[in-house]
Chain A
Amino acid sequence: MAQLGKSASEFTREDWGAIARNPRFQELSRRKFSFLVGWWLVSTIFYFLLPIAAGYTTNQSDFFNTKIIGCVPLLYLFALSQYGLCLFIAIYYDFWANRHADKLTGELLDELKLR
């Protein structure tokens, strides 16, 4: 299915449908979708543990009030780990997208002769 001599603004609905059924495109969208949903769920669930943990930490002897280093309590480190996870996801996604998603997109565009 070559799209010779056509730019995207001239595509018809059938052209877009054909791209959507292209196996390369389907692999790209499937991999992208599962990556995004998976990591989004991980970060969101991990985040909501924080307000819940904080809300149910009321006594000085509670688990999240355990002193870890000096006087630094576990809950502070837990809050810091939220930043760690966010930045990890950011770097990992950038790495993954550059390495896999952009490569697949490039292959698709080459096949369609769009670049």
Chain B
Amino acid sequence: MKRVFCVLMIALCLGLLIHAAAPTTVYAGPETVIANAVVGQVAAGESAKANRPLTLGLFIVIIGFTLYIVYWAAQRTKTTADFYAARSSITAWQNGWAIAGDYMSAATFLGMAGLICLNGLDGFLYPTGWMVAFVTVLLVMAEPCRNSGKYTVGDVLCFRAAAKPVRACAAIATVCVSTFYLTAQMDGAGKLMNLLVGVPYSVSIVLVGILIIIYVVFGGMIATTWVQIIKAALLVGGGVIISVLVLAKLGFNPVRLFNEVAASTQIQDWVRVNRLQQAVAVPGFDYGQRFLEPGLFLKNVWDQVSLGMATCLGTAGMPHILMRFFTVPDAKAARKSVVVSMFLIATFFILTTVMGYGAALFLTPQGIVAVDPSGNMANPLLARYLGNWFHPFFGDFLQAFVCAVAFATILAVVSGLVLASSAAVSHDIYTNVIKEGKAEQKQQVTAARIAAFCVGVVGLLIALGAENQNVAHLVALAFAVSAAGVLPTTVLSLFWKKMSTAGICAGLLVGTFSGIGLVLISPNMQYPKLIAAGDMKIVQTLEKKQVGGATLSEKDKATLDKAKASYEKNKDGTSVMGLDKPLFPLRVPAIVCIPAGLLSAILFALLFPSKREEDQFDELYVRQVTGIGTSAAVSH
């Protein structure tokens, strides 16, 4: 039965790929225009898209290799300890690579280089919080979690609290965080695959979804870990190759990269016209240097600080990261694995400066934007440009390689998330709430597989529905909810004697729902009246021009009609919450919802103390500090 299912899935995947690989005539129109625009900038290049057969070939190599690992892992996945924690047999080095693989998403690989390429220094400041976050993971979470938990963060939370309500709340928070992050990742996957190789959105979502389900359902944590290790190796390897080639062009002098960026006339024009909106240059202003200075992308300081709080504290509560600490044998290995992953992540993040500025210098921001306004194509195009330096085929190959790395990245991150939320559903809800911890091993593993399948399918369906939605803010929301709900309650129950069931539930629920609520009334939502006001402005300007006697060009006429139609459509509309304009001014709710979650956890713990839970604190505290009894907890 299993084999039949596997073969069917693989056949479906290959079918989708072959369908995608078949030559299409769809992109003859605007594509050639774009390609021409790039040709102007990029010396050689017929099309911005990657060489399809080559790219899809590399995809198939990755898929084949990972499926072989799944086959190998499936034979070793028999108990829940195998499924959720790879029998705690992963070494510290392997786990370090896997954490890095779990953490760095496609947005890290393609988005950050694009941000730097289009916005200069701000693109580099943006991910710093993602790095600093690992100090919290290392110091506060890794070892205590390893010493006091089993498979999920729910285990840590309900160590001394009433199991049922705490597990239920922990599962709600985990599933919310994972679903938000998962939707954003899947949506990004669909759009990226479309951009990189021209595979349609829905096809790539279905392909990624099926692969993830196979990985998690059959291979569990063992397969997921290896997918993440492979992906991290590809990602860091790709980053190093591109960066070394960029630096090779500049005589291996990083300072020269900065100097040449500041001296590039194309970049100076880009900063002046597209970023500062100045038609005429201000004398004495160094526009090239401005590209190396902050403020072209991130404008609101408090939004920035709020984002910093969300990432800094949220990472330490992300279920797919926490789950990785249960895969190593002891606290020492957990600690070492975080250190290894920090080095990998830091290396990659620092190299993005070289890639981003390299793309800006060699391909110009104008050239990158002509291909895709988000800047996500900076890395693939840079790879091709650098490869062409040696041989056109090598350029094609390098671009295809970068696309394949992005694909592997998506697979690894999404499978980690699906595994974490299926653990929350099956281990916390099914085994410990519904069955009250009395389920057989076999039943538990089956439940875990069914949960993984359902989570995967639901993620796939949500992502299919999200094609035309802007879901980028879901990432910030996932981090904010995790920082406001999971982190404070876990830290308090590990370190504070008076923490009680009521405090944990209140902290988790207030943190989760205040985050969601604030995003619903924040500027992330669409406000039709604000759109209508923007349209009105366009209509007025153009009509004034008309009244003044000037005839409108074809383009202006089309804009006018579009603005009028859009105005009619939006003038009486309200946002999903029935609002005319955002009530909460910031895009990232963390600065409000983290204190809210923390304070409500403390308040409810003080209001509803529990003598029994206070008495049990000694055991939890001794266990989390010393690791006494950890091996016993794993083997039963």
A interface list, Cβ under 8 A from B: 7-9, 11, 13, 16-17, 19-20, 25, 28-29, 32-33, 36, 39-40, 43-44, 47-48, 50-52, 54-58, 60, 64-65, 67, 69-73, 75-76, 79-80, 82-83, 86-87, 89-91, 93-94, 97-98, 102, 105, 108-109, 112, 114
Query: Is B622 part of the binding interface, using a Cβ–Cβ cutoff of 8 Å?
Result: yes
Which chain A residues border B286 with CB–CB below 8 Å? 60
Question: Complex: how many Å from CA A73 to CA B429?
Answer: 52
Residue of A nearest to B294 (CB): A54
- Tell me how far the C-beta of B250 lies from the nearest C-beta in chain A, rounded to whole angstroms: 12
B280 within 8 A of A: no
- The 8 Å CB contact of B346, one of A57, A70, A87, is A87
Chain B residues with CB under 8 A of A13: 615-616, 618-619
Q: Which of B288, B350, B621, B636 contacts A83 (CB 8 A)?
A: B350
Are B139 and A28 in contact (CB-based, < 8 A)? no
B321-363 interface with A by 8 A CB criterion: 332, 335-336, 338-339, 342-343, 346, 349-350, 353
Inter-subunit contact B622/A19 (CB<8 Å): yes
- Give B298-310 as 1s and 0s: 1 = Cβ < 8 Å from A's Cβ atoms: 1011001101100
Q: Which residues from chain B contact A98 at a C-beta distance below 8 Å?
A: 332
Interface residues on B, range: 35 or more
What is the minimal beta-carbon distance from B422 to any residue of chain A, in angstroms? 28
Query: Does B44 belong to the interface (CB within 8 Å)?
Result: no
Contact A105 B627 (CB under 8 A): yes
A sample of 21 cross-chain residue pairs with beta-carbon separation below 8 angstroms, ordered by A number, consists of A9-B629, A16-B622, A20-B622, A36-B140, A43-B135, A55-B294, A55-B295, A55-B298, A55-B301, A57-B293, A60-B290, A70-B256, A70-B258, A75-B294, A82-B132, A83-B346, A89-B139, A93-B139, A94-B339, A105-B627, A112-B628
CB distance from A102 to the nearest CB of B (A): 7
Q: State how many angstroms separate the Cβ of B617 from the closest Cβ of chain A.
A: 8
> B625: which of A32, A56, A89 is its contact (CB, 8 Å)?
A32
Give the residue name and chain of the B residue nearest to A115 (CB).
B628
Chain B residue numbers with a CB within 8 Å of A19 are 618, 622, 626, 628
Separation of A50 and B122 alpha carbons in the complex (Å): 11
Q: How far is the CB of A2 from chain B (nearest CB, A)?
A: 15
Q: Is the interface of A mostly helix, strand, loop or mixed?
A: helix
B121 within 8 A of A: yes
Contacts of B121 in A (CB 8 A): 73, 75-76, 79
With most chain B CB atoms within 10 A of its CB, the pick from A32, A70, A75, A102 is A70
Select which of B128, B261, B621, B622 is within 8 A of A50 by beta carbon.
B128
Which of A71, A89, A109 makes the CB contact (< 8 A) with B626? Answer: A109
> Chain A residues near B293 (CB, 8 Å)?
57, 60, 65, 73, 75
Other than the given A11-B629, A90-B342, A108-B626, 14 more pairs (CB < 8 A) read: A9-B632, A16-B619, A50-B128, A51-B125, A51-B301, A52-B301, A57-B293, A79-B121, A79-B125, A83-B346, A86-B132, A86-B135, A87-B343, A93-B138
Distance in Å from the Cβ of A38 to the closest Cβ of chain B? 9
The CA-CA distance from A99 to B632 in the complex, in Å, is: 25
Among A17, A72, A86, point to the contact of B292 (Cβ < 8 A): A72
* B292 pairs with A71, CB closer than 8 A: yes
Chain B residues lying within 8 Å of A69, measured Cβ to Cβ, are 255
Whose C-beta in chain B lies nearest to the C-beta of A69? B255
**Please, which residue of chain A has its CB at the minimum distance from the CB of B288?**
A71
